[in-house]
Structure 1
Amino acid sequence: MRQLLSSLSYFSIFFAPFILPVIVWIAVRDEYVARHAKRALLSHLLPFIAAVPLLFFTLAAHHAGSILGYILLFCVIYFGTFVYNIVKGIQVLREYA
């Protein structure tokens, strides 16, 4: 059950990126599950935290190339965290298998 809740926190990027890890982190008293829920929540928040300065720089940029570069950088960050969550979810599931 520990692995399922922990991996579900990572896999929630598909259906409830912020809500499920917060609920699991608050509701479950197991330290192992809470640690993975907190990591999943932080990894879900990372692209949006990175979007704030990128949005500022995009609005301040006066060249189309700069704007495109910042958008591509956001896409790389988002795709990287998406893959990270999938990999971590699988690793947690396979930990005790």
Structure 2
Amino acid sequence: MRQLLSALSYFSIFFAPFIFPIIVWIASRDPYVAMHSKRALISHILPFIAAVPLLILTFGANHPGSVLGYILLFVIIYFGSFIYNIVKGIQVLRDYA
């Protein structure tokens, strides 16, 4: 059960990116599950934290090429976080299989 909850914290990027890891983190008494749900929450929040400076830089940019560069950088960060969550969810499931 602990592997399933830990993996679902990572896979929640598909259905409830912030809510599910927070609920599991608060409700879990198992340190293993709490650790993975906290990591999943951080990896879900990271792209949006990275978006704040990119938005500030985008509004201050005078050249359309730099705006496109900032958007491309956000897409790379978000896609990397998305892949990370999928890989970590599979790894957690395979740990005890």
How far apart, CA to CA, are the structure 1 residues paired with 2:45 and 2:60? 24
User: Could you tell me which amino acid in structure 1 is paired with residue 71 of structure 2?
Assistant: I
State how many pairs are aligned.
97
In the alignment, residue 51 of structure 2 is paired with which amino acid?
A
**1:80-91, aligned counterparts within 5 Å?**
80-91=80-91
Q: How does 1:9-88 map to 2 (within 5 A)?
A: 9-88=9-88
Identity of aligned residues (%): 78
How far the C-alpha of 1:36 sits from its partner, in A, is 0.1
Amino acid at match of 1:32: Y
Q: Point out where structure 2 has 5 or more consecutive residues left out of the alignment.
A: none
What are the ranges of 5 or more consecutive residues in structure 1 without an aligned counterpart?
none
The one-letter code matched in structure 2 to 1:88 is K
- Using structure 2 for the length normalisation, give the TM-score: 1.00
1:94 & 1:12 partners in 2: Cα distance?
Answer: 17
Tell me, what secondary structure is at the counterpart of 1:13?
Answer: coil
Q: Deviations over 1:19-76 (max 9, x none)?
A: 0000000001100000000000000000000000000000000000000000000000
TM superposition score normalised by structure 1: 1.00
Moved over 2 A (4+): none
- Compute the RMSD of aligned alpha carbons: 0.2
